[in-house]
């Protein structure tokens, strides 16, 4: 029987850890340096990777050199480069050196913070950083509660789950419907209220009130309202204050989804979009979108945390300890479904410390200014039109079709032409029945010149499409 | 109006990225080098961190040097050091250089893989790595389905949610109860079936059958059975094959939770614990526990993925693309609730590549051998006893109380004495009414000498406790 010591196998030995980690740092830095050389959208075909990698795990260990060569040869070609300065699709996923450093610290320390005692700093830094973010957003310092379990208790049991109703606009992120279904609300009880150009795709308080009254008359129980600050499709903002008053009147849980535009609200000139937030029961935002924080990071504030912990607390013997029983500490395991929890706050803390509020505001404003610049260029070209008024750093526009029924085909062709060039990446949405091109500005490396290049590229591809249409005998244009 | 370029603010500039990242690498390597100097369990008091950090975010940017100083001065003292070789609590969270490198690549590339087109490599590598893992565990290559939504459809609607019943043993991880509640199953329909010393805390197939029959007689509908390979408290293993046959007979969804011990099943000598896995609908394991993969990483295999995607698929216009519509690719957004998804497979891929199956098996066996060594030392000391037979690298033992009613107090005092010494960290469980000390061996840096030191420390503290008890006039001993 051989030695049981780690001498022959040291998977976490500090010297090789240092050397190999630094080699990966060089690899990533090199990737950033050359990032503009890659086609932004991956050009591979489905199934490409299985032709390049073995179909079973290797029996023997391999060198980092070989692994990095495979990343270069096989993985990079299959990436759509979200960190490219020419990435303008969906919403950006803002990386930064600070976010990366925070992620490394979290991963390197690799502690688990499911309860206070399992790593007190993980719990306490999370509370502190969430307070910092809350203050930057000028959120109220206290909150009230009502939820599914309380509602069901009131109604007399889980069989009444079919009476509960959820309200949101048709612009609300589609994951809310999945989440509602998950917790047992029948999809037929999800009210996706129509929006239109007339309100710039914001949820109408009148429409909400009518829907609630109708449901009450039908014997249903209004449970939850989700309002959005910066919708996915067009960056619309729901009227928080008016919606909040209705939510209070009918005792609905009122959630604000500020995933995208919440970051902008640290700037005084955007904070008005959160007016009325004191009426909300909860609000969330994603620093991994527009706050220089590498994936993944989501902030959720709850007015009364007991609303969450009453439903999610668990009292497992294995977790028992005197500090938890003293009620002097938070155990974040009681705020979530899973038990495991990384030291999540470290990354956001480093981002905030390393940039400071001033530079974070500069970052937001710089993106918004580039979006204004892009918008102005679109407006100057009569072949195009801005479809939805811009509020943040997302511009929704389109190439005007001669025949409205072809707007979708024409603009979809334009997007394909841009994306298949590899020089930039843009995506689409449909709002009010109109197919629009979305230019979401916010990749960390994007500068004015990239925005100018994007516009030139779009004009060039549009010119070709329009010429083709002019030479064509059909009625498409 | 100033320049809008990034000249004055470059949050992701390659040169500073490299320098600062390497400084953090040195910081983390230094932490590993000195890790044995820290008390394993944090010695801070609740609220300690708020006295050391400002209560609002800084307005100005700060240097990495200052931030790392604060990590040293304020964060490290608040950590319970999960990477310490003297950490034997809960289940370990295995870090490794390879896991860290994979995490860096994931964070550095920072792509989002919610559908195939958003980064094809993210989706394809995930499928490939899951196949690698599945083959290492010798999982069957195909699977069958039945779930809440199908059951509700059959029953005629969501109001029948109160009829659905979930089965598990009283040793099953407590998060299953939270998850059941989340999806709308009344807590009264969760059957936590009793286990005992006689079956080494495994779920009895007979008890399961009786419970199912009783529920059916009461008009309820058995929905889901969870079996565990390596329970949290004592590492027990449920009889997969016998339970699976009952699940098939009554058409229950059969899930196997192999979060902890799944990793061991890559070794032929442990694979028998998964015999019968072909009867399962799903199986999960956590490489972040015992597979050298930094937090967080969970593998879930589903026999028939449509069981998941039928419930979770979303068809948002903003995600539409021709490749997804061709049905030639997987869109992982349809396998989860949230939309955002990191390049999760990269970390596990690097771990497997860099170690290879041979070294991964060596890693498991080395921990199991150290556990055997510890177990043998416990058995030799007549003041102690092994309470539950050891199967993997978890040893459940206790200091024998003179008076059974004091076993809990005596052993809890022993744990406190060990943990407050700062020299090691252990935790407890209660099985079959008996309070046991858990020694979970598996921290990456743990060597034989740490296990020997732990045993010496336990003996030393036990000796003091027993002397105190002998000199005491009460009846506690």
pLDDT digits (tens, 9 = 90+) for A158-186: 888 899 999 999 999 998 998 898 888 99
Give the model's confidence band at B475: pLDDT under 50 very low, under 70 low, under 90 confident, else very high.
low
CA distance B272 to B261: 12
CA distance A381 to A402: 15
B336 three-state secondary structure: coil
CA distance A4 to A160: 59
pLDDT of A146: 44
Give the burial string for B348-384 (b: 16+ CB within 10 Å, else e): bbbbbbbbbbebbbbbbbbbbbbbebbbebbeeeeeb
Per-residue pLDDT at B2 exceeds 60:
no
pLDDT of B146: 44
pLDDT of A1: 35
Identify the residue whose tokens are 């995600």.
B319
Give the model's confidence band at A477: pLDDT under 50 very low, under 70 low, under 90 confident, else very high.
very low
Cβ atoms of residues A324 and A331 within 8 Å: yes
Cβ atoms of residues B246 and B212 within 8 Å: yes
Cβ atoms of residues A258 and A265 within 8 Å: yes
Among A135-144, A260-269, B352-361, which is the least confidently predicted range?
A135-144
Residue A300 at interface with chain B, using a CB cutoff of 8 Å: no
What's A151's DSSP letter? Answer: H
Phi, psi of B300 (to 5 degrees): -130, 120
CA dihedral of residues B374, B380, B381, B386 (deg, nearest 10): 60
Q: Which residues neighbour A190 within 8 Å (Cβ) at sequence distance 6 or greater?
A: A165, A166, A168, A177, A180, A181
Give the model's confidence band at B157: pLDDT under 50 very low, under 70 low, under 90 confident, else very high.
confident
Q: Is A256 exposed, middle or buried (0-12, 13-18, 19+ CB in 10 A)?
A: buried
Q: Do A98 and B430 touch (CB under 8 A)?
A: no
Tell me the H-state helices in A236-344: 240-249, 268-271, 287-290, 306-312, 322-325
Q: In chain B, count of helices (H) and strands (E)?
A: 15, 10
The mean pLDDT value for A248-266 works out to 96
pLDDT of A444: 95
Closest CA to A28 of B382, B32, B104, B418: B104
Q: Can you read off the two tokens belonging to residue B435?
A: 């309070």
Per-residue pLDDT at B7 exceeds 60:
no
* Best A7, A11, A157 residue to mutate vs chain B (most B CBs within 10 Å): A11
- The full DSSP string for B413-462 is HHHHHHHHTTS-B-EEEEETTEEEEEEE---TT--HHHHHHHHHHHHHHH
A384 three-state secondary structure: strand
> Percent of chain A, pLDDT > 90?
76
CA distance B409 to B428: 12
Q: Which long-range contacts (CB under 8 A, 24 or more apart) does A449-456 make?
A: A449/B5, A450/A85, A450/A86, A450/A424, A451/A370, A451/A373, A451/A374, A452/A377, A453/A86, A453/A423, A453/A424, A454/A86, A454/A88, A454/A374, A454/A424, A454/A426, A455/A374, A455/A377, A455/A378
The mean pLDDT value for B48-61 works out to 94
Q: Which A residues in the span 280-299 are in contact with B, Cβ-Cβ below 8 Å?
A: 286, 288, 292, 294-296
CA dihedral of residues A34, A37, A39, A42 (deg, nearest 10): -40
CA distance B81 to A119: 8
User: Taking CB atoms and an 8 Å cutoff, what residues of chain A touch B44?
Assistant: 120-121
Closest Cα in chain A, distance from residue B355 (Å): 4
The distance between the two most distant Cα atoms of chain A, rounded to a whole number of Å, is 83
Residue A60 at interface with chain B, using a CB cutoff of 8 Å: yes
Q: Do A184 and B162 touch (CB under 8 A)?
A: no
Cross-strand partners of A430:
A435
B149 three-state secondary structure: helix
- The full DSSP string for A321-376 is -HHHHTT-S--GGGGSSSS----THHHHHHHHHHHHHHHHHHHHHHHHHHHHHHHH
Cβ atoms of residues A44 and A420 within 8 Å: no
What's A157's DSSP letter? Answer: S
The mean pLDDT value for A267-295 works out to 95
pLDDT digits 0-9 by tens, B307-321: 778 888 877 888 888
A443 three-state secondary structure: coil
Q: What's the helix, strand, coil split of chain B in %, to 5?
A: 50, 10, 40
Q: Which of B286, B320, B444 is opposite residue A12, by nearest beta carbon?
A: B444
CA distance A430 to B315: 13
Per-residue pLDDT at B238 exceeds 90:
yes
User: Taking CB atoms and an 8 Å cutoff, what residues of chain A touch B181?
Assistant: 149, 311
Give the model's confidence band at A155: pLDDT under 50 very low, under 70 low, under 90 confident, else very high.
confident
* Best A47, A76, A189, A353 residue to mutate vs chain B (most B CBs within 10 Å): A353
pLDDT of B334: 84
> Percent of chain B, pLDDT > 70?
96
- CA distance to A6, A193, B18, per residue, from A33 (Å): 38, 46, 11
pLDDT digits 0-9 by tens, B404-460: 899 999 999 999 999 999 999 999 999 999 999 999 999 999 999 999 999 999 999
pLDDT of A59: 94
Give the model's confidence band at A325: pLDDT under 50 very low, under 70 low, under 90 confident, else very high.
confident
pLDDT of B473: 61
Q: Can you read off the two tokens belonging to residue B294?
A: 């930094």
Sign of CA dihedral A23, A24, A28, A31: positive
Per-residue pLDDT at A63 exceeds 50:
yes
CA distance A402 to A379: 18
More confident: B113 or B275: B275
Residue A133 at interface with chain B, using a CB cutoff of 8 Å: yes
ipTM score of complex: 0.90
Q: Which residues neighbour A152 within 8 Å (Cβ) at sequence distance 6 or greater?
A: A158, A160, A161, A164
- pLDDT, averaged across chain A: 92
The mean pLDDT value for A134-138 works out to 89
pLDDT of B399: 98
The mean pLDDT value for B369-378 works out to 98
Residue A412 at interface with chain B, using a CB cutoff of 8 Å: no
pLDDT of B1: 35
User: Taking CB atoms and an 8 Å cutoff, what residues of chain B touch A326?
Assistant: 46
- CA distance to A74, A95, B175, B231, per residue, from B169 (Å): 45, 44, 13, 10
Give the model's confidence band at A270: pLDDT under 50 very low, under 70 low, under 90 confident, else very high.
very high
pLDDT of B328: 82
Strands laid side by side in the A434-440 sheet = A384-388, A394-399, A434-440, A427-431
Q: Which B residues in the span 157-216 are in contact with A, Cβ-Cβ below 8 Å?
A: 157-162, 173-175, 177-179, 181-186
Closest Cα in chain B, distance from residue A459 (Å): 23
Residue B41 at interface with chain A, using a CB cutoff of 8 Å: yes
Q: Which residues neighbour B158 within 8 Å (Cβ) at sequence distance 6 or greater?
A: A161, A162, A184, A185, A186, B152, B184
CA distance A242 to A280: 11
- CA distance to A119, A350, B45, per residue, from A124 (Å): 9, 15, 11
Angle between helices A345-380 and A448-470 (to 10 degrees): 50
Per-residue pLDDT at A4 exceeds 70:
no
Q: What is the pTM of this model?
A: 0.91
Closest CA to A8 of B67, B32, B355: B355
Cβ atoms of residues A191 and A165 within 8 Å: yes
Q: Which residues neighbour A438 within 8 Å (Cβ) at sequence distance 6 or greater?
A: A88, A89, A90, A233, A234, A394, A395, A396, A426, A427, A428, A429
* Best B39, B107, B290, B443 residue to mutate vs chain A (most A CBs within 10 Å): B107
* Best B318, B359, B448 residue to mutate vs chain A (most A CBs within 10 Å): B318
Minimal-distance CA residue of chain A relative to B363: A9
Q: Which residues neighbour A449 within 8 Å (Cβ) at sequence distance 6 or greater?
A: B5
pLDDT digits 0-9 by tens, B88-113: 999 999 999 999 999 999 999 999 98
Give the model's confidence band at A304: pLDDT under 50 very low, under 70 low, under 90 confident, else very high.
confident
Q: Which residues neighbour B268 within 8 Å (Cβ) at sequence distance 6 or greater?
A: none
Give the model's confidence band at B303: pLDDT under 50 very low, under 70 low, under 90 confident, else very high.
confident
User: Taking CB atoms and an 8 Å cutoff, what residues of chain B touch A149?
Assistant: 181
Among A62-71, A128-137, B320-329, which is the least confidently predicted range?
B320-329
- CA distance to A40, A42, A93, B62, B221, per residue, from A84 (Å): 7, 12, 10, 26, 52
CA distance B109 to B111: 6
Per-residue pLDDT at A147 exceeds 80:
no
pLDDT of B477: 44
Cβ atoms of residues B9 and A365 within 8 Å: no
The mean pLDDT value for A26-37 works out to 97
CA distance A368 to A349: 24
pLDDT digits 0-9 by tens, B162-217: 899 999 999 999 989 988 988 889 999 999 999 999 999 999 999 999 999 999 99
Neighbours of A272 (CB within 10 A): 11
User: Taking CB atoms and an 8 Å cutoff, what residues of chain A touch B340?
Assistant: 93, 286, 288, 295-296
């Amino acid at each position: 029987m051989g030695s049981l010591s780690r001498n022959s196998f040291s998977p976490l030995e500090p010297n090789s850890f240092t050397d190999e980690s630094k080699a990966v740092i060089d690899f990533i830095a090199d990737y950033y340096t050359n990032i503009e050389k890659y086609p932004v959208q991956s050009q591979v075909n489905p199934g490409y990777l299985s032709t390049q990698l073995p179909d079973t795990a290797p029996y023997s260990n391999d060198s980092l050199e070989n692994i990095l060569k495979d990343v270069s040869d096989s993985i990079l070609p299959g990436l759509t480069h979200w960190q490219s300065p020419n990435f303008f699709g969906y919403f950006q996923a803002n990386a930064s050196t600070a976010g990366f450093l925070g992620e490394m610290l979290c991963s390197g320390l690799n502690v688990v913070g499911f309860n206070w005692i399992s790593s007190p700093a993980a719990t306490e830094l999370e509370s502190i950083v969430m307070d910092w973010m809350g203050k930057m957003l000028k959120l109220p310092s206290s909150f009230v509660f009502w939820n599914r379990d309380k509602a069901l208790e009131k109604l007399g049991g889980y069989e009444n789950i079919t009476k509960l109703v959820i309200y949101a606009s048709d612009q609300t992120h589609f994951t809310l419907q999945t989440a509602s279904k998950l917790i047992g609300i029948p999809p037929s009880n999800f009210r996706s209220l129509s929006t239109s150009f007339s309100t710039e795709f914001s949820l109408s308080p009148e429409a909400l009130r009518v829907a609630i009254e109708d449901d009450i008359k039908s014997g249903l129980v209004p449970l939850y309202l989700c309002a959005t600050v910066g919708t996915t499709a067009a960056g619309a903002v729901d009227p928080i204050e008016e919606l909040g008053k209705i939510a209070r009147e009918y005792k609905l849980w009122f959630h604000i989804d500020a995933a995208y535009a919440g970051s902008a609200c640290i700037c005084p000139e955007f904070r008005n979009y959160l007016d009325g937030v004191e009426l909300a029961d909860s609000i969330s935002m994603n620093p991994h979108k527009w706050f220089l924080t590498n994936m993944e990071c989501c902030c959720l504030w709850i007015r009364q945390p007991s609303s969450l912990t009453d439903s999610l607390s668990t009292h497992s013997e294995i977790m028992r300890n005197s500090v938890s029983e003293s009620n002097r500490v938070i155990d974040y395991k009681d705020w979530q479904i899973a038990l495991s929890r990384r030291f999540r706050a470290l990354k956001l803390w480093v981002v905030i410390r390393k940039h400071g509020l001033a530079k974070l505001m500069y970052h937001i404003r710089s993106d918004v200014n580039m979006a204004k610049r892009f918008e102005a260029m679109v407006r100057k070209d009569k072949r195009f039109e801005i479809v939805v008024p811009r509020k943040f750093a997302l511009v929704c526009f389109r190439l005007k079709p001669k025949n409205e029924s072809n707007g979708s085909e024409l603009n979809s062709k334009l997007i394909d032409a841009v994306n298949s060039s590899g020089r930039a990446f843009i995506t689409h949405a449909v709002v009010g029945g109109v197919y629009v091109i979305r230019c979401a500005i916010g990749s960390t490396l994007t500068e004015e010149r990239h925005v100018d290049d994007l516009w030139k590229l779009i004009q060039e591809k549009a010119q070709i499409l329009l010429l083709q249409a002019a030479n064509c005998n059909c009625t498409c244009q």
